[in-house]
């Protein structure tokens, strides 16, 4: 491993702790981020020659804090800069700071940083962008590529988010128990949105967006170390791991979507599955079920089935019914309908989604599922209409290609093909 490789890993691992502590010290996102960047530059200059410090986070916090203070003094011109020896002689100060970090407040610092990124005044798109920039340290260019927007547009989005945080005068003290639970739920939702941005990427978008799954899993593991007794965070981590374990089997060599039932289960990541199942088991022992735990349990049933035929669709139906009661949503009902289709047949599944048509009229998966149910019942013309609508709403080329395959299976010529033949 080269010097740059191990330094990059060390800086990435220390970033949440260091930025969170610098934010507490300076109480300004831009200043904290600039101070951390300056500390990283000094690490790149010093560590290859001198080796890593005993505690990288403590070193970065101390150097970043000094750099931030120096910058403020330069701007104010009220005091002379400290001697270089004071900035370079870090041994004693670093040891003392490391002891304070070991003892205490860094967990609250990181939570505070995540809470600020997920402030309720921010739209979800800005929450995600801010967390990926501030907590994860992803470049603006990389975040922009992942969300398929221009770099300047993403820069503006992040700048607006910082401005809203500053304008809202977000308190930097740890919130009370009630607000903490609410804000923790917002952080969990943001992390799952980050994961889904990567997971929903088409084959042609994988290089840009799939790393978001890895980053979301890294952050939820970090969150789990901070709040180890929260069963819903365990459930969220389990859900991400169990879903991400199937990544290698989700597309074929040509980029076409491979349905879960047709995936090569030998390519599923058994290490991730084992970790996910262990977390889910630990969460359930708390006897405080929640939506992420239920969705994780669904993913676990898929992961534990040796073949598609062995999937316990009846139990999946029951789990989604529980999710509907706990957190009613049209998408939960649609997911349950797939389980009903497998367990009891297309007629029952079609009846279940009939009331959803208005709410999900612009949702690709609704029309795809409805088309599949109608196709199973032999109602080909109605199925064609649903599949046509699904193609119009497809978010990726792979999704559109998959629906076209379903149309071909109907033996009914799509409208575009009929127009060509008539012409």
Angle at the Cα of 124 from the Cα atoms of 120 and 127, rounded to 5 degrees: 75
* 3-class DSSP assignment, residue 257: strand
Structure tokens at 276: 């996910």
Map tokens 């042609």 to a residue: 204
Q: Which of the residue ranges 92-106, 138-152, 238-252 would you say has the lowest mean pLDDT?
A: 92-106
**Left if phi > 0, otherwise alpha if psi is -120 to 50, otherwise beta: which for 255?**
left
* Rounded CA separation 43/64 (Å): 10
Query: Which sign does the torsion angle of CA 291, 132, 196, 7 carry?
Result: negative
Q: Which residues contact 228 (CB under 8 A, 6 or more apart)?
A: none
Tell me how crowded residue 201 is: count the other CB atoms within 10 A of its CB: 23
Kindly report the backbone phi and psi dihedral angles of residue 54, in degrees, each rounded to the nearest multiple of 5, phi listed first.
-60, -40
Averaged pLDDT for residues 29-39: 91
**pLDDT given for residue 201 in this prediction:** 77
Structure tokens at 27: 């109480």
* 3-class DSSP assignment, residue 98: helix
Domain boundaries along the sequence of the chain: 3-104, 105-228, 233-308, 312-360, 363-423
Nearest to 46 by CA among 1, 102, 84, 20: 84
Averaged pLDDT for residues 42-58: 89
Contact 349, 330 (CB under 8 A): no
Structure tokens at 146: 């992942």
74: DSSP letter: H
Q: Which of the residue ranges 99-113, 303-317, 363-377 would you say has the lowest mean pLDDT?
A: 99-113
pLDDT in tens, 115-172: 888 888 888 889 989 988 988 888 898 888 878 789 999 999 999 998 888 887 766 6
- Does the pLDDT of residue 106 top 90, yes or no? no
* Rounded CA separation 380/411 (Å): 8
* Rounded CA separation 386/192 (Å): 29
The pTM for the full model equals: 0.80
């Amino acid at each position: 491993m080269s010097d740059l490789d191990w330094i990059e890993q060390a800086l990435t691992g220390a970033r949440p702790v260091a930025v969170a502590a610098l934010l507490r010290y300076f109480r300004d996102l831009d200043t904290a981020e600039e101070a951390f960047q300056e500390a990283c530059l000094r690490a790149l200059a010093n560590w290859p020659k001198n080796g890593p410090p005993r505690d990288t986070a403590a070193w970065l916090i101390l150097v970043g804090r000094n750099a931030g203070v120096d910058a403020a003094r330069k701007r104010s011109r009220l005091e002379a800069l400290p001697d270089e020896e004071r900035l370079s002689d870090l041994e004693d100060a670093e040891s003392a700071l490391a002891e304070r970090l070991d003892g205490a407040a860094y967990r609250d610092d990181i939570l505070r940083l995540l809470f600020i990124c997920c402030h309720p005044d921010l739209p979800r798109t800005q929450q995600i962008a801010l967390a990926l920039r501030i907590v994860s340290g992803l470049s603006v260019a990389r975040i922009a590529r992942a969300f398929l927007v221009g770099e300047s547009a993403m820069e503006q989005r992040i700048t607006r988010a910082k401005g809203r945080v500053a304008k809202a005068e977000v308190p930097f003290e740890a919130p009370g128990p009630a607000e903490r639970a609410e804000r923790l739920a917002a952080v969990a939702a943001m992390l799952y949105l980050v994961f889904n941005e990567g997971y929903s990427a088409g084959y042609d978008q994988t290089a840009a967006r799939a790393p978001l799954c890895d980053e979301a899993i890294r952050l939820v593991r970090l969150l789990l170390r901070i709040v180890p007794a929260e069963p819903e965070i365990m459930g969220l981590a389990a859900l991400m791991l169990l879903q991400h374990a199937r990544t290698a089997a989700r597309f074929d060599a040509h980029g076409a979507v491979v349905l879960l039932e047709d995936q090569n289960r030998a390519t599923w990541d058994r290490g991730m599955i084992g970790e996910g199942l262990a977390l889910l088991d630990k969460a359930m022992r708390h006897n405080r079920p929640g939506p992420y735990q239920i969705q994780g349990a669904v993913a676990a049933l898929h992961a534990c089935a040796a073949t598609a035929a062995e999937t316990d669709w009846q139990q999946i139906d029951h789990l989604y019914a529980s999710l509907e009661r706990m957190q009613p949503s049209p998408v939960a009902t649609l997911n349950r309908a797939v389980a009903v289709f497998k367990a009891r047949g297309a007629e029952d599944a079609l009846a279940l989604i009939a009331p959803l048509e208005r709410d999900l009229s612009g949702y690709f998966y609704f029309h795809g599922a409805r088309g599949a149910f109608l196709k199973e019942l032999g109602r080909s013309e109605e199925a064609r209409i649903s599949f046509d609508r699904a193609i119009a709403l497809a978010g990726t080329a792979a999704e559109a290609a998959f629906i076209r395959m379903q149309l071909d299976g109907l033996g009914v010529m799509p409208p575009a093909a009929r127009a060509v033949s008539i012409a």
